Amino acid sequence: MKNELRFNQIAFYVDMTLCTGCKACMIACKDKNDLDVGVNWRRVVEYTGGEWVKQGHAWRQDIFSHYFSVSCNHCNTPICVESCPTTALCKDKNGIVSLDRDKCIGCRYCEWGCPYGAPQYDEKNNLMTKCDFCSDYLEEGRDPACVAACPTRALHFGEFEELKKKLNGTVSPAPLPRYELTDPALIIKPHRNARPVGFKGGKISNPEEVRWNPKIGLW
């Protein structure tokens, strides 16, 4: 029996201090949604940076590397919804940004507009695809596939305002875009080596997996 979803704004919580980069969340999402090669609704970002600097006869280093998991953030002001010319994308009463494939024409405007790379193109069907927060699982009282699969419990979900009250965190560590762009329903507990948004001294080490594309401004 399905339950009626009751969220003002559903959100993800990511604890970067617990994420080991195992990609179990990514695999669970692909398996649950039967995603084709190259389409990854949830991605695990490896962010690295720092350097060695010689000081006299000694060397000093500030090398860092850490992971965090990211998917669609079901933003409060989603650029993807604003960019869609056919109203295929909409934000429902629970705050979930969902895609109506019957209305989608595969124009990819949503993909180009989203700063998180959440909407992803299905080449076989010439349509866009995206995370729907496992709304079918939620209606059955189950956790989203990515949350259930995380072995270190780095991923959580819940009501956005309640998560903000219970859990400390930020929303825009580097290399994520500025929070103000879309007002994402995302809370992140930063890694001890996390850099602030706008930091230019690091890089994404697995761009092919996270769909990072400097030509269209993603991260």
Domains annotated for the chain, with CATH where assigned, are: 10-216 (3.30.70.20)
Q: What pTM was computed for the model?
A: 0.89
Helix (H, G, I), strand (E, B) or coil at 35: coil
Q: Are the beta carbons of 70 and 116 closer than 8 angstroms? A: yes
Record the tokens describing residue 12, joined without a space: 């993800």
Helix (H, G, I), strand (E, B) or coil at 184: coil
pLDDT tens profile 36-50: 998 999 999 999 998
Residue 52 corresponds to which amino acid? W
pLDDT tens profile 117-142: 899 999 999 999 999 999 999 999 99
Q: Are the beta carbons of 20 and 152 closer than 8 angstroms? A: yes
Q: How far apart are CA 69 and CA 4, in angstroms?
A: 28
**With the CA atoms of 25, 26, 30 and 35 taken in that order, what torsion angle do they form, in degrees rounded to the nearest 10?**
150
Q: How far apart are CA 219 and CA 149, in angstroms?
A: 26
